Amino acid sequence: MAQAKGYTRNNGPLRYAHITGWGMAVPDTVMTNDDMAAIVETNDEWIRTRTGIRERRIANERESSATLGYKAATSALEVADVLPMDIDLIIVATSTAEHVFPSTANLIQDWLGASKAGAFDLAAACAGFVYAVNMATQAIRSGSIDTALVVGAETMSRIVDWTDRSTCILFGDGAGAIVLQGSDQEGGVLSAVLRSDGAGHDLLSVATPNVRELNGHTLGKMYMHGGEVFKFATRVVDESIRQVTEDAGITLSDIDLIIPHQANYRILQSAARKLNIDMDKFVSNLDRYGNTSAASIPIAMCEAIEQGRIRKDDHLVMVGFGGGLSWAAMCVRWGIPEPSQLQGNRLNRQRRRAVYLLARVRARWNRLRRAWNNVLRWSNPRNIRLMRLRRRANQQKLP
């Protein structure tokens, strides 16, 4: 087999980035197409035949991209049998963070008690997970880190325009996570292709309060030109799959499984036709979850693993596409034993639970400490005088 050209180093032994853990979390609340038809003028038949979607999960008010991502991350750490303090880097791919900052990754880092990890969010819409896995892989392959946690987490239900029937029917909420670890064993992530075409920025967008012109769109709500995005997706999926397999030194017939972004079943059918690859090789679960943006690939991967569709030495291709416009593909040679052969260390399981508990206690303690410091600060005579002055200024309506 040809040497993979995706990642090469000029000197030193090569490190390989292997996926050693995985996990997913979706909200319990199921919203069917019939439920959708009670909100906008649509019907089950239209949604099913145009998209392949039957239902999606919707987060409740206590759930967010961070809480779903945290749940998926704890499952991934369990499978990989990694302790939170052994994580070097956490990347969360999301378009639905609770804050501009802190990042969702910061919150998950804190809740996990991953005390030695750097953490940041990555914004590349539905291509975000593949972008993030590539960033973590580069860091592992350079030798600068050994263990990374990559999460794709979304609460799309918070940014869809519930009056726009052509977009709100498509999306759902959920999260998936993987642990990537460095190893001398050849395999793991073999190659990646990342691409962007910002000229299509207005085809799929969500405006923040910082936007210069709203152009008739609603602040904080998704706008999509579905037809154009559909054409773009059908063009780039097969192109990037061809490119990434070539870079990995394999042929299309060597691919065992394709894990695509779950946007529309017809996009997957078009890619299968163009590539002349059987539909059976495409993982599809969008009938149950809809489009969960950056979370869709890791969720589909988790389900494929659980269904026994991924075996040691299989070649997988992941491909994501969406807002930006941005798209990305990645080729992986699965390098670890099947899940049934993995045995988590019981002691480590207890240690992880203890770390999560400690992280929660520490977060509460820090909040209490800050509240107490505020009380002390405002009981200082100088601050009391300052407060009185401000109150007087307000009453006199001074500038």
The verdict on 227 binding ligand ACO (CB under 6 A) reads yes
Burial of 289: CB neighbours in 10 Å, binned 0-12, 13-18, 19+: buried
Query: Letter for the amino acid at 378?
Result: W
Of 264, 265, 297, 333, the one binding ligand ACO (CB under 6 A) is 264
Alpha helices in the chain (DSSP H): 33-37, 44-51, 65-80, 104-112, 128-141, 165-168, 226-247, 265-275, 286-289, 296-306, 346-378, 381-395
Token readout for 107 is 């919150």
Q: Which is nearer to ligand ACO, 114 or 169 (CB)?
A: 169
Segment contacting ligand ACO (CB under 6 A): 225-233, 244-252, 270-278, 336-344? 225-233
Residue nearest to ligand ACO according to CB distances in the complex: 322
Of 24, 72, 180, 233, the one binding ligand ACO (CB under 6 A) is 233
Q: Are strands 89-93 and 147-155 parallel, antiparallel or unpaired?
A: parallel
Catalytic residue among 291, 302, 315, 331: 291
Of 229, 297, 302, 330, the one binding ligand ACO (CB under 6 A) is 229
The torsion of the CA quartet 14, 182, 65, 111, rounded to 10 degrees, works out to -140
N-terminal to C-terminal alpha carbon distance within the chain:
74
Segment contacting ligand ACO (CB under 6 A): 103-111, 227-235, 247-255, 331-339? 227-235
Q: Which is nearer to ligand ACO, 229 or 305 (CB)?
A: 229
Q: Which is nearer to ligand ACO, 7 or 327 (CB)?
A: 327
List Cα–Cα distances, 74 to 44, 79, 117, 120, 347, in angstroms: 35, 9, 15, 18, 16
The verdict on 322 binding ligand ACO (CB under 6 A) reads yes
Q: Which of residues 156-215 bind ligand ACO (CB under 6 A)?
A: 165-166, 169, 204
Check if 168 is active-site. Answer: no
The verdict on 230 binding ligand ACO (CB under 6 A) reads yes
CB of 200 to ligand ACO, least distance (A): 11
Query: Letter for the amino acid at 276?
Result: N
Check if 99 is active-site. Answer: no
Query: Letter for the amino acid at 258?
Result: I
The verdict on 125 binding ligand ACO (CB under 6 A) reads yes
| DSSP annotation of 60 | -
DSSP string, 355-394: HHHHHHHHHHHHHHHHHHHHHHHHTSHHHHHHHHHHHHHH
Of 20, 33, 42, 245, the one binding ligand ACO (CB under 6 A) is 42
Check if 134 is active-site. Answer: no
The set of catalytic residues is 126, 261, 291
Residues lying near ligand ACO in the complex (CB under 6 A) are found at 42, 46, 50-51, 125-126, 165-166, 169, 204, 226-227, 229-230, 233, 263-264, 267, 291, 293, 322-323
